[in-house]
Chains A and B, each alone.
Chain A
Amino acid sequence: MSSNYLEIIRPGINTTFQDKGRDHLYHIGIPFSGAMDNRNYLIANKLVNNNLDSAVIEFAYQGPHIKYSGEKINCAITGDVIFSIKKKDTEIEGKCYESYQIENGDEINIISTNKSVYGYLALGGEFDLKFQWNSCSINTKANIGSNDGKKLDVGQRINLKKINSNKDIKKTNYINTKIENIRVIKGTNFDYFSEEGKKIFYEKEFTVSKLSDRMGMRLEGPKIDNIVNTNIKSEGLIKGVIQVPADGNPIIMLSDHGTIGGYPKIGVVASVDYDRLVQMSPGSKIKFKEINLSDAETLFKLYEMETQNLLSQI
């Protein structure tokens, strides 16, 4: 038995292990999964001197309350998160994007994400987890990945099989920017919708519904009218696809999405905006803005350069 471990005092709402996810499996019905907000996932690992593809604990809204036992280890939380670290005789208010050293008996209490959805807890070391298809990412729908594909639960013990020898404390000044518009590329069934429907899609505001999770984000607002057919022959989906079923309310496919779908696709979220899209909590307003493929490619390149810059400064 490992002598370095975490104990879950309170699991939080949707707490899972995530890493870079798994690829080459769409054709059998398995999506990428992986950390929803990839940039915050990478930063969390870098702050605790991990390999960038290490597993972290992802939480949504309310996070876990964890007790640590073992030798000294670094931890860091990324996102927009309210948390505290309880030491023997003191409790400190935690700051995101800074690493902390914790020791035997210390507790991390992640109270909630702030006007956002996902946060990440990285520990400077390696969790002892089962891998399936080169990833420990938990897909709770198909019960794939570590922890038998299930969310973390109260009372559970999670072992670490390695602790990093590099215990340098790191810090970065990253601020999660919110964006007003989510940029989208025209979908393959764009012409299924009425002129009025297309106008509504690009000009009106939509609200993120409570019925959103790692599989998809449902939107509410003005209805988008279909004039051709509310069903298509089922075909592949990718993350970011915006489907509009018969009720006229768009659904955006997220990282754990079903791999095949039969609703018309009005648009696809540009890759550059995916990390920020997933952080929009229920009740947030979304407006879509059309961009073309070549702008989307350029914007993603810039976003990726910015991510690499951020990481290299840590």
Chain B
Amino acid sequence: MIKNISNLGDAALYCDFGNEVNKSINSQVIKYFKTIKEKKFEGINNLTPSYNKLIISYDLKKTNFKEVKNYVENINAQDSKDINSKKLEIPVCCHENFSMDIKRLEEILKLSREKILENFLNKEYFCYMTGFIAGMPFLGDLDENMRAQRLETPRVKVPKGSVALTEQFANIYTFESPGGWNILGNTPLDVFDSSKEDKPNLINPGDTVVFKEITLDQYKNYNE
């Protein structure tokens, strides 16, 4: 449930669901997000669900904080249709061509490459949110022994498709971008496709993801 609603500036509502990061709180956020999105309240022009917050932006020419707050407080989020979540398998190639930070991870985690990959691949991930750059999924949770801080100096260019880790999360760089996460592999899949306007994101909040290892040859032939 929403614990507190405050204003973020004069054109957004800041809905706080708590401070912890877990699936149950995030599912609440997503439930509210989907309900409000479906109802199309006049003036609301954007919704950003994250781990435990929901930010609701509105057009100050059409509505205001009081109206939107009142609306959100009286919503019955139970009314929303079932969270329509998918389970996805994402191919990932962890060949040394791609796993740029494997050495660093081996040192920080004090685990062998094989063990790191085994831990990473034998796990089901939950998509908490997408964003920062278009379509980037924030996936969790990595086991305690797999958690590493981000690079001290972020890379200026992280290659498109990079699968990377930081703290309890994994993500996928949907296009080339600066970034500081620990890169473990690369997926040949287009995780964000702006030509599909109705569904540009392959992975959406609430979805479940497993990574399946592929060889370099399979990677190279993937899109043929």
Contacts and interface: CB of A to CB of B under 8 A. Distances in A.
A233 B134 contact: no
B132 A238 contact: no
Given A25-B46, A26-B46, A293-B7, A143 B194 contact: yes
Interface string A204-245: 000000000000000000000000000001111110110000
Contact of A142 (B37, B133, B197): B133
Given A132-B197, A234-B51, A235-B51, A260 B129 contact: yes
A304 B134 contact: no
Interface residues of B, number: 47
Contact of A27 (B6, B51, B130): B130
A234 B132 contact: yes
Nearest to B50: A235
B10 A296 contact: yes
B54 to A, nearest CB: 8
Interface string A243-269: 000000000000000111100010011
B197 A133 contact: yes
Contacts of B50: 233-236, 260
Interface in B41-66: 45-55, 57, 60-61, 64-65
A297 B64 contact: yes
B184 interface: no
Contacts of B177: 141
B11 interface: yes
Contact of A238 (B11, B19, B21, B197): B11
B130 A234 contact: no
Contacts, number: 139
Contact of B138 (A234, A268, A270, A300): A234
Given A24-B46, A234-B51, A293 B133 contact: no
A241 B55 CA distance: 12
Contacts of B194: 132, 142-144, 149
Interface string B5-42: 01111111010000101000000000001000100000
A310 to B, nearest CB: 15
B9 A29 contact: no
B201 interface: yes
A271 interface: yes
B126 interface: no
Nearest to A25: B46
Interface string A18-49: 00000111111110100000000000000000
B185 interface: no
Nearest to B136: A29
Contacts of A66: none
25 contacts: A23-B45, A24-B45, A26-B131, A27-B130, A29-B130, A29-B136, A142-B194, A143-B175, A149-B194, A185-B10, A188-B8, A234-B51, A234-B132, A235-B48, A236-B53, A238-B8, A238-B46, A240-B9, A260-B138, A268-B12, A271-B11, A293-B7, A296-B9, A300-B60, A304-B60
Interface of B: 6-12, 14, 19, 21, 33, 37, 45-55, 57, 60-61, 64-65, 129-136, 138, 174-175, 177, 192, 194, 197, 200-201, 204-205
Q: Closest 6 A-B residue pairs measured CB to CB?
A: A236-B48, A268-B9, A236-B55, A29-B131, A296-B10, A259-B131
Interface of A: 23-30, 32, 132-133, 141-144, 149, 185, 187-188, 233-238, 240-241, 258-261, 265, 268-271, 293, 296-297, 300, 304
